[in-house]
């Protein structure tokens, strides 16, 4: 007998299944949301115990205090997974936002000590309590917009000691968060001033900090900004090798503004994902396809900075798993929430609405190494569920900015 403490029924249910195996979705499956009309999902103790359609749920036992609800034909789908954000910062960048015109300008702003350096200063000057309060608010805002798993990077400390401070604050935020947080140590975001003439020494120190990251269980993955004039492949190779050896996943900002061969490099070293990839070469795309490494498209920064967005069809036709993320950060992608990322993924990158939903759920889960646990409404997965205020999920892409997220459940508990 199935016992449930949460049943949502009478739904247009997007299961994002059936999945043949635990691999990310490519090819035809990249646009298949597994829709079931008159569907239901049942959960117990935070895990999904059954999904189906019609009235079979009537046989289930409702435990005391169970929430049993007819959603009236509205869409019920997996909670969104946002696999790339920089939520851990203080300070806004209004001036830069108001004056910047193009991606080329972004590198010029960076060289002039603006850009990320402005955020680094503000974040260092903010107290622990201030940073924690900001993190709490941003995680709460993400949950309101339907995100039930979010990756958050450090990266505005630059110097290893400051990065460790951010990671420790993230650990505190994670412990009390209503949704799941995947923490990433962004070890090489920009070269801090004291190391201007010695990037090798900087990488050595960032690599040394890995030991404490592992000892204190501060992060699941290590990230680096591999870009012209920032860090090149040879710079970051020792860092990534050490990270893998220590049992951490590796991910990178790859080929965002220029093709520097980072996508192929990500494939070679078995990265968890390759992110941005707007300028990935054909070789880079083939390498990602062969290794089945998700390409995380971040249309928000293309939109705000004004550079050419990644063309999703190049990845989809090559059978690269495609994921979407908000890339929320104060400099290049201040957008909030996955519905906006979905809308931009469709209008700017050329995904279909259903491909964008796959990219924001199951494929994004794979980009965080959680492809077997979340991202789909299937028996045995965490009950991370969103109810939309519509009977057509394509509205997520179409009615940009509309308040479509009506209810959000994380591990079976209502969080928004
Ligand atoms: Zn980023």
Give the span between the Cα atoms of 33 and 24, in whole angstroms: 13
Q: What is the pLDDT of residue 98?
A: 73
Give 389's contacts (C-beta < 8 A, 6+ positions apart): 74, 403, 404, 405, 406
pLDDT in tens, 177-204: 999 999 999 999 999 989 988 999 999 9
Beta bridge partners of 40: 52
The three-state DSSP-derived secondary structure of 322-384 is EEECCCCECCCECCCCHHHHHHHHHHCCCCCHHHHHHHHCHHHHHHCCCCCCCCCCCCCCECC
Q: How far is the CA of 82 from the centre of ligand 1 (A)?
A: 12
Q: What is the pLDDT of residue 100?
A: 67
Of the pLDDT bands very low, low, confident and very high (cuts 50, 70, 90), residue 21 is: confident
Give the span between the Cα atoms of 118 and 376, in whole angstroms: 39
Q: How far is the CA of 307 from the centre of ligand 1 (A)?
A: 15
Q: What is the mean pLDDT of the chain?
A: 95
Q: How far is the CA of 215 from the centre of ligand 1 (A)?
A: 25
Q: How far is the CA of 342 from the centre of ligand 1 (A)?
A: 17
Q: Which of 118, 164, 109 is nearest to 306 (CA)?
A: 109
Q: What is the pLDDT of residue 108?
A: 72
Give 137's contacts (C-beta < 8 A, 6+ positions apart): none
How much is the average pLDDT of 300-324?
A: 94
Q: How far is the CA of 190 from the centre of ligand 1 (A)?
A: 12
Q: How far is the CA of 21 from the centre of ligand 1 (A)?
A: 29
Q: What is the pLDDT of residue 155?
A: 96
Give the span between the Cα atoms of 117 and 98, in whole angstroms: 17
pLDDT in tens, 236-250: 999 999 999 999 999
Of the pLDDT bands very low, low, confident and very high (cuts 50, 70, 90), residue 9 is: very high
Q: How far is the CA of 349 from the centre of ligand 1 (A)?
A: 17
Q: How far is the CA of 85 from the centre of ligand 1 (A)?
A: 6
How much is the average pLDDT of 132-143?
A: 98
Q: How far is the CA of 18 from the centre of ligand 1 (A)?
A: 31
Handedness of CA 317, 318, 319, 322 (dihedral sign): negative
How far is the CA of 336 from the CAs of 85, 117, 157, 313, 341, in angstroms?
10, 22, 22, 25, 8
Q: What is the pLDDT of residue 93?
A: 83
The secondary structure element, H or E, covering residue 188 is: strand 180-188
How much is the average pLDDT of 14-19?
A: 85
Give the span between the Cα atoms of 338 and 142, in whole angstroms: 8
Q: How many CB atoms lie within 10 A of CB 113?
A: 11
Q: What is the pLDDT of residue 103?
A: 56
Residue 101 has pLDDT above 70, yes or no: no
Lowest mean pLDDT among 29-33, 55-59, 89-93, 326-330: 89-93
Residue 175 has pLDDT above 90, yes or no: yes
Q: How far is the CA of 126 from the centre of ligand 1 (A)?
A: 21
How much is the average pLDDT of 353-357?
A: 98
Q: How far is the CA of 38 from the centre of ligand 1 (A)?
A: 39
Q: How far is the CA of 272 from the centre of ligand 1 (A)?
A: 15
Residue 136 has pLDDT above 70, yes or no: yes
Residue 165 has pLDDT above 70, yes or no: yes
Is residue 86 within 8 A of residue 79, CB to CB? The reply is: no
Count of H helices and E strands in the chain?
Answer: 15, 16
How far is the CA of 305 from the CAs of 188, 228, 255, in angstroms?
21, 17, 15
Q: How far is the CA of 406 from the centre of ligand 1 (A)?
A: 28
Residue 307 has pLDDT above 90, yes or no: no
Give the span between the Cα atoms of 46 and 383, in whole angstroms: 5
Q: How far is the CA of 256 from the centre of ligand 1 (A)?
A: 9
Three-state SS for 23? coil
DSSP letter assigned to residue 399: S
Residue 106 has pLDDT above 80, yes or no: no
Residue 358 has pLDDT above 90, yes or no: yes
Beta bridge partners of 253: 225, 275
* Residue 260: cis peptide before it, omega within 30 degrees of 0: no
pLDDT above 90 as % of the chain: 88
Q: How far is the CA of 327 from the centre of ligand 1 (A)?
A: 5
Q: What is the pLDDT of residue 56?
A: 96
Residue 61 has pLDDT above 80, yes or no: yes
Residue 104 has pLDDT above 60, yes or no: no
Domains, in order of start, for the chain: 3-79+376-414 (2.30.40.10), 80-367 (3.20.20.140)
How much is the average pLDDT of 51-66?
A: 97
Three-state SS for 35? strand
Q: What is the pLDDT of residue 140?
A: 98
How much is the average pLDDT of 63-82?
A: 98
Of the pLDDT bands very low, low, confident and very high (cuts 50, 70, 90), residue 19 is: low
Q: How far is the CA of 407 from the centre of ligand 1 (A)?
A: 28
Residue 22 has pLDDT above 90, yes or no: no
Q: How far is the CA of 221 from the centre of ligand 1 (A)?
A: 14
């Amino acid at each position: 007998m199935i016992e449930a403490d949460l049943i949502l029924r009478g739904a247009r249910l997007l299961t994002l299944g059936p999945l043949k195996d635990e691999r990310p979705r490519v090819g035809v499956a990249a646009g298949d949301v597994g829709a079931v009309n008159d569907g239901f999902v049942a959960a117990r103790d935070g895990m999904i115990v059954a999904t189906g359609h019609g009235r079979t749920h009537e046989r289930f036992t409702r435990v005391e205090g169970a929430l049993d609800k007819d959603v009236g034909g509205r869409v019920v789908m997996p909670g969104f997974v946002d696999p790339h954000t920089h939520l851990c910062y203080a300070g806004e960048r209004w001036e830069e936002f108001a004056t910047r015109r193009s991606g080329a300008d972004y590198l010029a702003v960076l060289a002039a000590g603006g850009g990320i350096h402005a955020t680094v200063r503000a974040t260092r000057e903010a107290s622990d309590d201030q940073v924690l309060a900001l993190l709490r608010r941003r995680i709460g805002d993400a949950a309101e917009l339907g995100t039930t798993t979010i990756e958050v990077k450090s990266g505005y400390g630059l110097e290893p000691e400051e990065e460790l401070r951010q990671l420790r604050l993230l650990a505190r935020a994670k412990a009390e968060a209503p949704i799941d947080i995947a923490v990433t140590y962004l070890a090489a975001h920009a070269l801090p001033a004291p190391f201007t003439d010695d990037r090798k020494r900087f990488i050595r120190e960032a690599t040394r900090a890995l030991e404490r990251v592992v000892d204190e269980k501060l992060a699941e993955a290590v990230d680096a900004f591999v870009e012209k004039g920032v860090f090149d492949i040879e710079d970051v190779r020792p860092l990534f090798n050490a990270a893998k050896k220590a049992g951490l996943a590796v991910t990178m900002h790859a080929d965002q503004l220029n093709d520097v061969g980072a996508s192929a490099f990500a494939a070679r070293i078995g990265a968890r994902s390759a992110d941005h990839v707007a300028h990935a070469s054909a070789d880079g795309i083939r390498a990602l396809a062969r290794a089945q490494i998700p390409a995380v498209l971040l249309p928000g920064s293309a939109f705000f900075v004004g550079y050419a967005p990644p063309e999703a069809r190049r990845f989809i036709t090559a059978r690269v798993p495609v994921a979407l993320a908000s890339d929320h950060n104060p400099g290049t992608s201040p957008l909030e929430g996955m519905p906006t990322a979905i809308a931009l993924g469709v209008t700017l990158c050329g995904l279909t609405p259903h491909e964008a939903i796959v990219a924001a759920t199951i494929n994004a889960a794979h980009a965080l190494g959680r492809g077997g646990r979340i991202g789909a409404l299937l028996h045995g997965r965490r009950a991370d569920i969103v109810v939309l205020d519509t009977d057509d999920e394509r509205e997520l892409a179409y009615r940009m900015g509309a308040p479509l997220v009506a209810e959000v459940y994380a591990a079976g508990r209502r969080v928004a």
